[in-house]
Amino acid sequence: MTPLVRVQNESRHLTPPLSAGYCEKFLCRLVGLTFRSHIALDEGLLLVQKHVSRLDAAIHMLTVFTDLAVIWLDGEGTVVDKIRAKAWCPIYIPKFPAKYVLEIHPDRLEDFHIGDKVTFTDA
């Protein structure tokens, strides 16, 4: 079972609060949200890479049946890129190196802005 973390944007208040599965193992990151047809407004998945990298932080949306908001964060938790990822798109690569990839409901995209500081705590 994937442990949950509470996601907090230190730069702005998140309403509703956001919890995400903490996904650092390769298989968990590879599977991600594949085969999901929806995601709740208050849930997400946090993919944790071993290194800060553009290529390692790339995601695919193959077999993901819903659009997602994708937020890329560097090793210090600063938002470095974000995008609305379309279902079935083969690849998205962040503009800048990232260590964390937060996949959330697409309506939450504007809850995060480039430069925001994001922290994670046990849920």
**Model confidence pLDDT, tens digit, residues 24-81:** 998 888 888 888 888 999 999 999 999 999 999 999 998 999 999 999 999 999 999 9
**pTM, full prediction:** 0.95
Check whether 84 has a pLDDT greater than 90: yes
DSSP 34-74: TT-S---TTEEEEEEEEEEETTTT-B--TT--S-EEEEEE-
- The rounded distance, in Å, linking the Cα atoms of 49 and 72 is 11
What is 4-111's CATH number?
2.60.120.1140
Do residues 105 and 112 make contact, with C-beta atoms less than 8 angstroms apart?
no
Q: How far apart are CA 65 and CA 116, in angstroms?
A: 28
Distance from C-alpha of 73 to C-alpha of 98, rounded to nearest angstrom? 5
Distance, in Å, from the CA atom of 66 to the CA atom of 104, rounded to the nearest integer, reads 11
In the chain, domain spans:
4-111
